[in-house]
Structure 1
Amino acid sequence: MSDARAARDDGSTDGDAVASCLEWGRLPTAPAVTTVLTEILKRGPIPRIEVAQRTGLSQTAVTKAVARLTEQGLISAHDHRRSAAPGRPVQPLSVQARAALAIGITVRVDEIFGVATTLRAEVLQSIHRPLASTVPAAVADSVAAVIDALLAELGPDAERVLGAGVAVSGEVDSASGIVRTSPRLNWRDVPLRELVHERHGLPVYVDNDVRALSIAEEWFGIGVNTNSFAILTIGAGIGCGLYVNGDVVAGDHGVAGEIGHLPLGPSDLLCTCGRHGCVETVASSSAIIQAIRAAKQDPLLTMREAVALARDGDAEARGAFERAGSVLGLALATVANLVGPGSILVAGESVTNYDLFGVRLREAFEAHAFGSAGDCTIVAKSHTFEDWARGSAASAIQALVEGELAAQS
């Protein structure tokens, strides 16, 4: 990384070398420096006096941290002559987003999505490839190949990539890089970080896909201006990311927010996890299409066709979507009652069909949310698979800033 070039404010490079201390898997890790860099990443451009107010650091500590980060080419100050008060002009601080880059990869049952991003998780390159096998070694081979392809696409900029985030569904122990269990991939105790790192020297951070998406929202989305939020993701499975009192909830064992497996559905329906009555048995996209196929006695019915039937007023198709909405609303009310988020983001690829289940979701939520827990705002937002991969990059960026990848470099 010693030849990496600092980025100008417009995102282009200016040829000035970034300090040689920027190595793979490593950013400045002194506590005050990390705190200041995180604040500028999430909220920049931001005046240094506001950094001090938000972090609780003294002006002197902020000034020293800013000086170090500026010297290393990670941030810059902008001279705003039109300050609110006479005297010294305000100098908002911004991250030099291209001073260091990250890779983000999300693994699905039959495909892999990868992106290369700036330090602010802005996508520079993206790749989508089929996945022929979910055998762990084969997946690690494919992940390494996607990393190589993205580095090739970046060209000379590849030298500024500090690490990669890889996200999968299921229970993930990020500290060890082990996927404890992933029903969709049929994995148990897979050392994914080790497998990928063996194939590629780039430091790797492994995370749960929904938690990674939550980190992206925490640092660069709805979490910037709120103290607590939740993300409900709807697709082949049902996931939930939780950001509570200023931090994404990871859980002691890598499990948190698994509302897809709350027993709120019919007790006779078997879930992919092997238990009965999970939310996923009614509300996942696979459960909805299976219900409509059974009702129509058409095993080849596609989701597109099912949606068209529901929007045309077909009672059985609409009923499947509305049952899903009711169960999802109950699950969200449970989350709201437990942690009291200020907002809930309903996300995922199936949100394009929100019109078919959104009314029932809100009705069930309002019926079961207790007191002020029901005051949170529910917002629907469709996510592409590129967004999921961007979440993986954001997870790696957080790990980079907090020094969690340095041990691998």
Structure 2
Amino acid sequence: MSRSNSSKTLHRLIALGPATRGVLGAELEISAPTVTRVLQPLLERGMIRPLERIGAEPLSGKPAYQVGIVESYTTFVGLKITDSSIYGAVVDMGGSVLAHDERALSDTTVPAVVDTVVDLVSALSADFTISGVGIGIGGRVNSGKVISSGFLGWTNVELENILERRLDVTVTVANDVQAFAQAESWWGFAGGQRSFVLISVGSGIGCCTVMDGNVFEGEHGSAGMIGHLRVGDGGPTCEMGHVGCARAYASSTCILRYLEKQYGISESYDNFVTRATAGFSPERAIGVAAVEAVAQLVSGAIGFLDPNTVVVSGDGISMVMAFESEFRKAISTYRHWAGEKVDVLLQKMEFSAWARGGAAVAMERWTQEAL
């Protein structure tokens, strides 16, 4: 969908923060009179506000005032669906979480999940004006349709349409890693960066590329599905039977399954990381192999995409942090020797960040359709 100048302006202010009229005109490639015409209705509606004077406009010499978004103008509900629960949060335009709640899932059939989503959204939105609902879900999602989600056992579910009929509000459904990247590009560790790659390590392995401030979804909504890329000649197998794929080596699900199947060890992921860090066998060897697999994915992303930054995060980031020296050494080994240096950041995350991702994709759609 092409954006109006009003939509582009609001999106720019959300993504990169306050700016003067001159900066907006230069970045959005629109004339000064057009900037003035675009800003006036946004100011009148209370979506943006004037900020302090910071000098003079370079061409006209007129006083230069920044404008910025009004964070409290409206709110969005963001949800993260897992195989055992749905976590939700109310998020304002500045990315602040104003309220949150959770519902357990004992039944992952479509009707049961839809009923739980409706109940949770109703509870969260009782005290707020909600302009949209966004949902992050692990799996392949295209145009609001869940093409496949292995952990839920879903295929070809028109989740967006089903929920819009039940909730009577605009609903946006997206891949959870893409939603997470959208939120972080605006409000998180990548705020202000126009180009970065996010690799998520947790119960699954996912990737998202942000280019020129926009999440790249791919032609079929499948961009970033890297979990089953082969990174080793042998090694463990994933639940699909793939030998040596990134998911088999590095996802928490496959690591714990491998420990139990191969060694008869049943333990939590946190305990696995603790024992691996302390040097216990077989956990240490499994942990080192896992971070080397992630390092291959990072090196591949650098080689293919040449981003400003690669961010590694997710529920399983503690393992990568525990073996950071091995991880960075492996990146140096695998990446192209002649390439430019690219920053690789390891970022802890709170689980609420997934729900904030849902709110971000809802807001992204709202900036296109509401103006």
TM range (shorter): over 0.9
**Aligned residues of 1:283 and 1:328 also touching (Cα < 8 A):** yes
TM-score computed with the length of structure 2 as normaliser: 0.93
Shift of 1:139: 0.8
CA contact (8 A) 1:197 1:203 kept: yes
Q: Pick closer, same or farther for the CA change 1:269–1:312 going to 2, 3 Å.
A: closer
Partner of 1:287: 254
Report the alpha carbon displacement of residue 132 of structure 1 after superposing the two structures with TM. 1.3
| CA-to-aligned-CA distance 1:139-173 (integer Å, 9 cap, x gap) | 11111111001012xx2xx2x31110011001001
1:252, distance to aligned residue in structure 2 (A): 0.9
Q: Of residues 70, 79, 85 in structure 1, which corresponds to 2:43? A: 70
Q: Does the CA contact (< 8 Å) of 1:105 and 1:167 recur in 2?
A: yes
Amino acid at match of 1:220: W
**RMSD after superposition:** 2.2
* 2:104 corresponds to 1:141: no
Q: Which residue of 2 aligns with 1:110?
A: 84
- 1:241 aligned to which of 200, 208, 211: 208
> Which stretches in structure 2 are left out of the alignment for 5+ residues?
none
How do 1:26-175 residues align onto structure 2 when only pairs under 5 Å count?
31-80=4-53, 83=55, 88-152=62-126, 155=127, 158=128, 160-173=129-142, 175=143
Aligned equivalents of 1:309 and 1:270: distance in 2? Answer: 22
Three-state SS of the structure 2 residue aligned to 1:188 is strand
Structure 2 contact 77–90 (Cα < 8 Å) conserved: yes
Same amino acid, percent of matched pairs = 27
TM-score with structure 1 length normalisation? 0.84
Equivalence for 1:14: none
Q: Do the aligned partners of 2:76 and 2:362 also contact (CA within 8 Å) in 1?
A: yes
The 2-side partners of 1:106 and 1:85 are apart by 44
Could you list the runs of 5+ residues in structure 1 that have no partner in the other structure?
1-28
Q: What amino acid maps onto 2:364 in structure 1?
A: Q
Contact 2:204-2:251 at 8 Å conserved across structures: yes
Instruction: Give the distance between the partners of 2:329 and 2:25, measured in 1 at CA.
Output: 43
Report Cα offsets for 1:168-227 as digits up to 9, x if no partner: 001001x2x110011111111011112212321121001000000111122233544333
- For 1:50, the aligned partner's letter is V
Bigger shift: residues 109-118 or 267-276: 267-276
Counting only pairs closer than 5 Å after superposition, residues 352-371 of structure 1 correspond to structure 2 as: 352-371=318-337
d(CA) in 2 for partners of 1:30, 1:227 = 18
Counterparts of 1:266 and 1:122, CA distance in 2: 45
1:180 touches 1:188 (CA, 8 Å); kept in 2?
Answer: yes
> Could you list the per-position Cα deviations for residues 243-262 of structure 1 after superposition, in whole angstroms to 9, with x for gaps in the alignment?
13442110111101112121
Instruction: Indicate yes or no: 2:339 matched with 1:380.
Output: no
8 Å contact from structure 1 (residues 295, 316) kept in 2: no
What is the SS of the residue equivalent to 2:267? coil
The structure-2 alpha-carbon separation of the partners of 1:126 and 1:373, relative to structure 1 and needing over 3 Å to count, comes to farther
Tell whether the 8 Å contact from 1:279 to 1:328 is kept in structure 2 after alignment: yes
Q: Secondary structure at the match of 2:222?
A: coil
What per-residue deviation string (whole Å, max 9, x for no partner) do you get for residues 107-143 of structure 1?
0010111011112222111112211111011111111
How many residues get paired? 368
Cα distance in 1 for residues equivalent to 2:230 and 2:277: 29
Matches within 5 A, 1:162-241: 162-173=131-142, 175=143, 177-241=144-208
Offset, 1:59: 0.7
Measure the CA separation in 1 of the matches of 2:321 and 2:182.
Answer: 27
Q: Give structure 1 regions of 4+ aligned residues with deviation exceeding 6 angstroms.
A: 84-87
Question: What is the CA-CA distance between 1:319 and the residue it aligns to?
Answer: 0.5
Does the 8 A contact of 2:310 with 2:343 survive in 1? Answer: yes
**For the Cα contact (< 8 Å) 2:199–2:313, is it kept in 1?**
yes
User: Per-residue deviation at 1:351?
Assistant: 1.3
The letter for the 2-side match of 1:250 is: E
